[in-house]
Structure 1
């Protein structure tokens, strides 16, 4: 057998196996799809038809789910933003469960608000699954500080937190006229996507235009 053809087949197998180690839904589907396509071509070349058919079926299934995932990625009907009290028992359970992961997003974040600290908290839901949490502290003068904008690892490629800022209208009736990021939040691509701009070493998003548009 041509050694390069054998390497080609091994690449497909490695990608399929590697995909199974991925926690992120989108990354899993892409790796699995590419691996299955390679395996399909490889098995067609060496004429092993049962494995050709199996990998072709896997590739088709992955293609369907990739289409569906990308189609609903920014779909307001897919995700729901639910406001909860900062001391809500379920919210604190989520924050404790994912404390280590959350520390990577916002190193200085403290789950329980200090006495008298005004906070606003939102859960981002996909069906009955909590996929994100956003917490904002009232700094006064209409400024809200984004203390936490966290997304679970499975949905990290989808940035569902965008619905808190863009599509949910959850700031209607709130005292905030602008949002600023807390120290340590520097994901430029995400922040720009949801309407923040760099200003004086932090990221700022005005809320007045959004309120009037809604």
Structure 2
């Protein structure tokens, strides 16, 4: 057997195993697809047809799910935004359950508002699964200041938090003229631009009036 062929076989197997360790559904599908395609090619060269058929079928399944996930990622019919009270019992349960993960993205976030602080909270639902939480506080100048924009690990590559910002009527009804992310991480720039924010100094701003139909 050619050394490169054996290396390819091991690489395909390694990618399939690596895919099973991924929490993110999109990353899992891509790694599994690449691994199964490599395995299909490897077994075809060796003429092991039962494994060719199995890995080819796995590849097709991954292609279907990748197509479906990417088709649905911006589909408002798939994701529902549900407003809840900032002290809602279910919201607090979600925040407690994912506290360690949330702290890596928003280390200064506190689940319960300070006395007198006006805060609005939104759950992003995919069916009966909570895939994201967005919380904003009243900045006092017509600004909704984003305190938390968190997405569960499974759906982090799909950015479902965008559906909160698209429904600008949520913010307009509360009297907000703009939504402000005060200190976005460097890696968030593409996401924020994609949902209508623009940089203003260290902050990112989205004008509500310009997106009332979004």
Category of TM-score, reference length = shorter chain: over 0.9
TM-score by length of 1: 0.96
Aligned 8 A contact 2:26 2:69 in 1: yes
Aligned to 2:137: 137
Aligned to 1:210: 211
Pair 1:112-2:84 in alignment: no
Aligned-pair Cα RMSD in Å: 1.2
Q: How does 1:75-94 map to 2 (within 5 A)?
A: 75-94=75-94
Whole-angstrom distance in 1 between the partners of 2:169 and 2:14: 45
Bigger drift between 161-170 and 150-159 goes to 161-170
Q: Show CA shifts across 1:67-92 (max 9, x none).
A: 11111111110100000000100001
Pair 1:190-2:188 in alignment: no
**Structure with the higher fraction of residues in helix conformation:** 2
Aligned to 2:99: 99
Note the residue ranges of structure 1 that are not aligned, 5 or more in a row. none
Whole-angstrom distance in 2 between the partners of 1:120 and 1:206: 18
Aligned 8 A contact 1:133 1:148 in 2: yes
Q: 1:105 to 1:203 in 2, by over 3 A?
A: same
Would you identify which runs of 4 or more consecutive aligned residues in structure 1 move more than 4 Å?
Answer: none
Whole-angstrom distance in 1 between the partners of 2:168 and 2:194: 15
Aligned 8 A contact 2:168 2:208 in 1: no
Aligned 8 A contact 1:82 1:124 in 2: yes
Whole-angstrom distance in 2 between the partners of 1:185 and 1:109: 15
Q: 1:99 to 1:19 in 2, by over 3 A?
A: same
Whole-angstrom distance in 2 between the partners of 1:111 and 1:49: 55
Secondary structure in 2 aligned to 1:140? coil
The alpha-carbon deviation at position 204 of structure 1 amounts to 1.0
The alpha-carbon deviation at position 168 of structure 1 amounts to 6.7
Aligned to 1:41: 41
Aligned 8 A contact 2:182 2:202 in 1: no
The alpha-carbon deviation at position 167 of structure 1 amounts to 4.1
Whole-angstrom distance in 2 between the partners of 1:96 and 1:206: 32
The alpha-carbon deviation at position 210 of structure 1 amounts to 1.3
Aligned to 2:64: 64
Q: Show CA shifts across 1:100-155 (max 9, x none).
A: 10011111100011111100100000000000000000011211110000000000
Aligned to 1:175: 175
Note the residue ranges of structure 2 that are not aligned, 5 or more in a row. none
Aligned 8 A contact 1:32 1:62 in 2: yes
Secondary structure in 1 aligned to 2:171? coil
The alpha-carbon deviation at position 208 of structure 1 amounts to 1.1
Whole-angstrom distance in 1 between the partners of 2:177 and 2:169: 13
Whole-angstrom distance in 2 between the partners of 1:46 and 1:176: 64
